[in-house]
Amino acid sequence: MSGALCRVELLDAAHDRAAFRSGSEPLDRYFQQQVTQDIRRRVTACFVALTPKNRVAGYYTLASTSMTLADLPAATAKKLPRYPTVPAVRLGRLAVDAEFKGRGLGGALLADALDRACRSEIAAYALVVDAKDASAQAFYRHHGFIAMPSDPLILFLPLLTVRP
């Protein structure tokens, strides 16, 4: 199944989280044990990719964040107003079930997150991602994300480059 055959919805109680296995134990544990508490407390939103049979094939989380201007690459910072921070949207977690990897779903979920951030009426300069390791970092770099000089496992993509 390709990413295009899945639909993306906000996570709700009807979705079966127990069977989800991405191969990353912390990402699976978060999805199974913690995400609903974070949603209740309004500190994250979680979106799931569902197969036509309603199986969860992938998920990602989004929340508001800010980026410290001094942490951005100099070439980026000089194009921004001299505020201490700029607003952003954080893609805290992104995971695809092992059975669905390598079929375009991770890329489709990333595109969905970027589209949601661009469509919001609340301004955000960039989508910021936390890469859990070098492989995840390579995935985001492949999609045009720029590493933060202070921590290369945090990457960002200015939303103006997605939708002018």
Ligand X SMILES: CC(C)(COP(=O)(O)OP(=O)(O)OC[C@H]1O[C@@H](n2cnc3c(N)ncnc32)[C@H](O)[C@@H]1OP(=O)(O)O)[C@@H](O)C(=O)NCCC(=O)NCCS
Task: State the residues that interact with ligand X by CB under 6 A.
Answer: 3, 22-24, 27, 94-96, 101-107, 131-132, 135-136, 138-139, 142
Helices (H), 13-147: 25-29, 35-40, 74-77, 105-119, 134-142
Least Å from the CB of residue 128 to ligand X: 12
Residue (8 or 95) nearer to ligand X, CB: 95
Query: Which residues have C-beta within 8 Å of that of residue 76, sequence separation ≥ 6?
Result: 146, 158
Residue (27 or 154) nearer to ligand X, CB: 27
Residue (86 or 113) nearer to ligand X, CB: 113
Q: Is the dihedral of CA 48, 50, 54, 55 positive or negative?
A: negative
**Which residue sits closest to ligand X, CB atoms considered?**
106
Residues forming a β-bridge with 151: 148
Least Å from the CB of residue 78 to ligand X: 29
Residue (67 or 110) nearer to ligand X, CB: 110
| CA nearest neighbour of 94 among 14, 52, 35, 16 | 35
CB distance 61 to 91 below 8 Å: yes
Least Å from the CB of residue 1 to ligand X: 11
Least Å from the CB of residue 159 to ligand X: 19
Query: Which residues have C-beta within 8 Å of that of residue 105, sequence separation ≥ 6?
Result: 1, 2, 3, 6, 49, 57, 58, 96
Catalytic residues: 140
